[in-house]
């Protein structure tokens, strides 16, 4: 009976796949760091803000909106309505993604010099522009499957993306070696596009298979009601406009919030090398330190978050449904259980990284600096896991404004360390800022969640 619980079974599927995907990606980053070096990794990591902003602008809010509305509709077994929701969301997100991809491709030079402050990222931006529409397709479809609590497809598409990305880069590198060609970091970006295309293909095949199973010999997306076969085009257009309006009502605030947060994160990412140069490092050394931090140390610290990320994705529709049905006991249980187990996981990971962090940096990345970063960042684990899980619960309860404000406050607090601590203390100033800002966000989320669940300080004491 416990296995049939969608939270448990879904979490297990997403966690196992996430761990396998991160395991592959972890050794892939080791390969990239050995082939392209710390500076190459720094350049590669600099394009991440553009990808994050593109996702926030095009599909992040739509994916959540699709998941939420599909979750409420499948409880009534209205599968046609769910497919209409998916199709309406897809039309909105795809229009935005095509415009975004064209903008990135055409203005790659300006974005590289003005925004990223690194001209060598321009050719990489033109390549990743091709991946933006592909990411939109599988994100919308994944939102649908998250909503109906069938996590196998998102898990498989994630795994297909990772395998194809890594496999294609290894293949390109092997061809270069045989022909005595010098590999460039552009090959890693080409692999990213190939991975996104594989994930898109898997997602499209899965949704077409489900549509054919539910509606054989019928139009998959308009899905006219059998009770009223005389529905004409005008009524159908009106219906889709209504659905799009519902989706946009939820998606626009979410996308705006995500866009602001990603913009702040992008400023942070772009200015870390710049502030390191103010500290006294050369451009190459600053990019090298940035590459070690973001391309080597942080992925290892974030490796266990595959579990909490899986729980967070599934908690949103489940808590939302429980809150809508007035099941406050289930909401309270989700909050208290999340805090307990995130603390256990976080403290366990902190202990492991404290004991083995320096050795891991030396053996895996051949970098003493990476090991030093891992030791410092190990203390962030409990706070990182609690904040992500409670944030998802608060979003499911409709407290999106609160979680947005908490994230913004945390990021602004961290930016103070970027601009004022790094020029004085170097990269250590940023690491202190990460720890302090994550602690602040965790405290804000915890206090808010305990207030909603009407739990007292005695309950928090029992948890600790």
pLDDT in tens, 344-368: 888 898 999 999 988 988 888 788 8
Strands (E), 69-220: none
Alpha-carbon separation of residue 369 from 134, 142, 287, 296, 423 (angstroms): 36, 38, 13, 10, 18
Gyration radius of the chain's alpha carbons: 23
Closest CA to 87 of 208, 170, 197: 208
Cα(294)–Cα(103) distance, integer angstroms: 26
If pLDDT is split at 50, 70 and 90, which confidence band does 1 have?
very low
pLDDT for position 132: 94
Alpha-carbon separation of residue 378 from 244, 342, 354, 437 (angstroms): 44, 14, 6, 15
Average pLDDT over residues 79-93: 88
More confident residue, 16 or 402: 402
Helix, strand, coil percent values for the chain (each to nearest 5): 85, 0, 15
pLDDT for position 4: 52
Q: Specify the pTM.
A: 0.76
- Looking at the predicted structure, is the pLDDT value of residue 409 above 90? yes
In this predicted model, what pLDDT tens digit does every residue of 256-290 receive, in sequence order? 888 898 899 889 988 999 999 999 999 889 988 98
In this predicted model, what pLDDT tens digit does every residue of 142-175 receive, in sequence order? 999 888 878 778 888 888 898 999 999 989 888 8
Contact 350, 438 (CB under 8 A): no
If pLDDT is split at 50, 70 and 90, which confidence band does 205 have?
very high
pLDDT for position 223: 47
Long-range contacts of residues 26-30, Cβ cutoff 8 Å, at least 24 apart: 26/299, 26/300, 26/303, 28/162, 28/165, 28/166, 28/169, 29/295, 29/296, 29/299, 30/364, 30/365
- Looking at the predicted structure, is the pLDDT value of residue 193 above 90? yes
413 exposed, middle or buried (CB, 10 Å; 0-12, 13-18, 19+)?
A: middle
- Looking at the predicted structure, is the pLDDT value of residue 225 above 70? no
pLDDT for position 336: 76
If pLDDT is split at 50, 70 and 90, which confidence band does 325 have?
low
pLDDT for position 226: 47
In this predicted model, what pLDDT tens digit does every residue of 29-61 receive, in sequence order? 778 888 888 788 888 888 989 998 999 999 988
Cα(391)–Cα(187) distance, integer angstroms: 36
Cα(289)–Cα(156) distance, integer angstroms: 34
Buried b (16+ CB within 10 A) or exposed e, 259-270: bebbebbbbbbb
- Looking at the predicted structure, is the pLDDT value of residue 186 above 60? yes
Cα(198)–Cα(168) distance, integer angstroms: 11
């Amino acid at each position: 009976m416990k296995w049939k619980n969608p939270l448990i079974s879904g979490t297990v599927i997403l966690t196992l796949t996430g761990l396998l995907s991160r395991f592959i990606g972890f050794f892939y980053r080791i390969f990239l760091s050995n082939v392209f070096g710390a500076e190459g990794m720094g350049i590669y990591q600099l394009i991440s803000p553009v990808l994050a902003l593109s996702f926030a602008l095009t599909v992040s809010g739509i994916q959540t909106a699709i998941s939420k509305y599909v979750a409420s509709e499948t409880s009534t077994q209205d599968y046609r309505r769910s497919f209409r929701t998916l199709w309406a969301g897809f039309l909105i997100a795809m229009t935005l993604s095509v415009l975004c991809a064209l903008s990135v491709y055409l203005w790659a030079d300006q974005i590289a010099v003005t925004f990223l402050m690194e001209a060598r990222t321009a050719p990489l931006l033109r390549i990743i522009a091709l991946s933006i529409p592909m990411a939109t397709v599988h994100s919308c479809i994944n939102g649908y499957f998250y909503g109906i609590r069938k996590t196998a497809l998102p898990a498989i598409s994630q795994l297909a993306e990772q395998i194809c990305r890594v496999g294609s880069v290894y293949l390109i590198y092997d061809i270069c070696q045989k022909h005595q060609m010098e590999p460039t970091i552009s090959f890693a970006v080409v692999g990213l596009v190939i991975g996104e295309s594989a994930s898109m293909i898997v997602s499209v095949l899965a949704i077409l298979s489900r549509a054919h199973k539910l509606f054989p010999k019928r139009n998959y997306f308009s899905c006219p009601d059998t009770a009223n076969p005389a529905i004409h085009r005008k009524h159908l257009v009106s219906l889709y406009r209504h659905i799009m309006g519902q989706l946009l009502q939820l998606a626009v605030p979410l996308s705006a919030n995500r866009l602001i947060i990603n913009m702040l994160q992008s400023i942070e990412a772009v200015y870390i090398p710049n502030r390191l140069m103010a500290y006294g490092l050369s451009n190459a050394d600053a990019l090298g330190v940035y590459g070690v931090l973001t391309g080597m140390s942080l992925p290892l610290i974030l490796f266990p978050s595959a579990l909490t990320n899986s729980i967070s994705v599934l908690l949103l529709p489940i808590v939302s449904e429980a809150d809508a049905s007035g099941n406050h006991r289930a909401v309270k249980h989700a909050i208290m259980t999340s805090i307990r187990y995130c603390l256990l996981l976080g403290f366990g990971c902190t202990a492991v990284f404290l004991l083995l962090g320096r050795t891991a940096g030396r053996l895996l990345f051949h970098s003493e600096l990476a090991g030093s970063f891992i030791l410092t960042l190990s203390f962030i684990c409990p706070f990182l896991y609690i904040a992500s899980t409670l944030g998802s619960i608060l979003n499911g309860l409709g407290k999106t404004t609160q979680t947005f404000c908490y994230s913004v406050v945390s990021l602004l607090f961290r930016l103070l360390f970027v601009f004022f601590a790094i020029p004085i203390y170097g990269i250590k100033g940023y690491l202190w800022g990460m720890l302090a800002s994550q602690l602040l966000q965790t405290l804000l989320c915890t206090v808010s969640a305990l207030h909603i669940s009407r739990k007292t300080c005695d309950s928090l004491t029992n948890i600790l």
